[in-house]
């Protein structure tokens, strides 16, 4: 903007018109973002400082007491510990396996590779109640096609498979089943985008397929791996549907009613009517997701990927 003055008036108006048309292209999205993204987000922030008297919010009346209520709740440490265990397992494992499979598929593109990508993708069709239903069947040794495997590692019945110690891994296995195909497709797409000149030059220099994969392809898809890292981390912090369906509706055995922080927030809001504490908890999860996003973006200059 600062060098506008030095430009000819004609150029200025041209630029102004260009900006105007950009704004017009964005306007509908911006309105939706205000109404369904920013406003509810800010309102959640407001609610986290509100005191509810007979269901009527009194803003700023609560100070930080909602935060204190949420963070000192007897389930807070338990649910945070659970989600931490889940993140430690699911994020590195999920990203490593997705990248590994995409790289392996891309080593020899062909009919096998494209068939396998389709097969890996199909479970993406299953989420929500249908996914949990399938998971319950798969983890029941009496019915599961993986029954022999489950028995082989010492699990004879459903209640021993689904136990407090195994839950983080169980949710990882379920999440990877339904989510990996999409990410494999995205990472494979990124690999397809690597220019052939680069890989051919490496071949001429005597690089084996494995060296090319490790030293050329992997570094080049870094932006997409970062992107996946942000979304997987922020998404997994919010784990809700799986423990909720497994715990409260179908199988009460070994899954507590509130296993993840998001379930605790839901319980605060719709179980206890404490919307302030629910918002405080949700904002904590948002802060974790945003913090991770900020670190990754600053660290990698993500918004600067330009042709």
Partner 1 sequence: MSEIKNTSLKTPPTIPQRWRIYGYRLFGDIGGLGFILRLIVLLVFAIYFVVPIFWLALAPSKDQFAITTLNPLAFGSWETVLKSWQNINAYQHGAIWLWFTNSIVYVVSSLLIGLAISIPAGYALAIARFPGRKLLLWLTLITMLLPPSAMVLPLFMELNLVHLVNTAWAVILPASFFPFGVYLTYVYYSTTLPSDLLEAARVDGCSEWEFFRHIALPLAKPVIGLLAFISFNANWNNFFGPYVMLNNDKLFNLPVGLQTMIASTSAIKPGFNTTPGLLKFQQADVALAALIMIVPVVIVFLFSQRYVISGALTGSVKG
Per DSSP bridges, beta strands 51-53 and 56-58 are: antiparallel
Q: Is residue 7 within the footprint of partner 1 (CB under 8 A)?
A: no
Q: Is residue 121 within the footprint of partner 1 (CB under 8 A)?
A: yes
Q: Binder to partner 1 among 12, 37, 96, 271 (CB under 8 A)?
A: 37
Q: Which of residues 286-305 bind partner 1 (CB under 8 A)?
A: 286, 289-290, 293, 297, 303, 305
Burial category of 162 from C-beta neighbours within 10 Å (exposed 0-12, middle 13-18, buried 19 and up): buried
Dist CA 199 CA 229 (whole Å): 26
Q: Binder to partner 1 among 13, 40, 92, 215 (CB under 8 A)?
A: 40
User: Least distance in Å: CB of 229 to partner 1?
Assistant: 12
Q: Is residue 197 within the footprint of partner 1 (CB under 8 A)?
A: yes
Element (H, E) at 305: none
Nearest Cα to Cα of residue 183 among 91, 69, 269: 91
Q: Is residue 4 within the footprint of partner 1 (CB under 8 A)?
A: no
Q: Which of residues 164-183 bind partner 1 (CB under 8 A)?
A: 177, 180-182
58 SS3 class: strand
CB 255, CB 167: distance < 8 Å: yes
Give the up-direction half-sphere exposure of residue 124: CA atoms within 13 A in the CB hemisphere.
Answer: 13
Q: Binder to partner 1 among 194, 218, 257, 300 (CB under 8 A)?
A: 194
Number of amino acids touching partner 1 (CB under 8 A): 117
CB 184, CB 117: distance < 8 Å: yes
In the complex with partner 1, which residue's Cβ is closer, 39 or 64? 39
Q: Which of residues 91-120 bind partner 1 (CB under 8 A)?
A: 97, 100-101, 104-105, 107-108, 112, 114, 116-120
In the complex with partner 1, which residue's Cβ is closer, 81 or 129? 129
Q: Which of residues 49-78 bind partner 1 (CB under 8 A)?
A: none
In the complex with partner 1, which residue's Cβ is closer, 45 or 78? 45
Of 3-11, 65-73, 82-90, 202-210, the window that binds partner 1 (rule: CB under 8 A) is 202-210
Strand partners, 52: 57
The single-letter DSSP state of residue 148 is H
Dist CA 116 CA 107 (whole Å): 13
Pull the structure tokens for residue 300: 């990698």
In the complex with partner 1, which residue's Cβ is closer, 90 or 262? 262
């Amino acid at each position: 903007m600062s060098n506008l003055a030095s430009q000819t008036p004609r150029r200025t108006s041209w630029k102004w018109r260009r900006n105007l048309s950009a704004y017009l292209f964005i306007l509908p999205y911006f309105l939706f973002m205000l109404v369904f993204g920013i406003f509810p987000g800010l309102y959640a922030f407001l609610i986290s400082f509100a005191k509810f008297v007979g269901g009527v919010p009194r803003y700023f009346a609560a100070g930080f007491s909602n935060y204190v209520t949420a963070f000192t709740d007897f389930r807070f440490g338990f649910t945070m510990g659970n989600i931490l265990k889940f993140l430690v397992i699911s994020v590195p494992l999920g990203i490593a396996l997705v990248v590994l499979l995409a790289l392996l598929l891309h080593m020899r593109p062909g009919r096998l590779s494209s068939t396998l990508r389709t097969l890996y993708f199909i479970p993406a069709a299953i989420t929500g109640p249908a996914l949990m239903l399938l998971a319950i069947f798969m983890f029941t040794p009496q019915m599961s096609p993986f029954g022999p495997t489950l028995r082989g590692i010492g699990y004879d019945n459903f209640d021993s498979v689904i136990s407090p110690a195994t839950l983080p891994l169980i949710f990882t296995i379920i999440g990877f089943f339904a989510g990996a195909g999409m990410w494999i497709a995205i990472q494979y797409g990124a690999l397809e985008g690597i220019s052939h000149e680069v890989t051919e030059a490496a071949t001429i220099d005597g690089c084996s397929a494995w060296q090319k994969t490790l030293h050329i392809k992997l570094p080049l898809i870094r932006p997409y791996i970062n992107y996946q890292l942000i979304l997987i981390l922020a998404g997994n912090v919010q784990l809700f549907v799986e423990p909720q369906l497994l715990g409260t509706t179908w199988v009460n055995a070994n899954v507590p009613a509130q296993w993840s922080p998001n379930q605790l927030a839901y319980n605060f809001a719709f179980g206890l009517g404490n919307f302030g504490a629910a918002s405080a908890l949700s904002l904590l999860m948002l802060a974790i997701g945003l913090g991770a996003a900020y670190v990754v973006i600053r660290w990698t200059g993500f918004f600067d990927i330009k042709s």
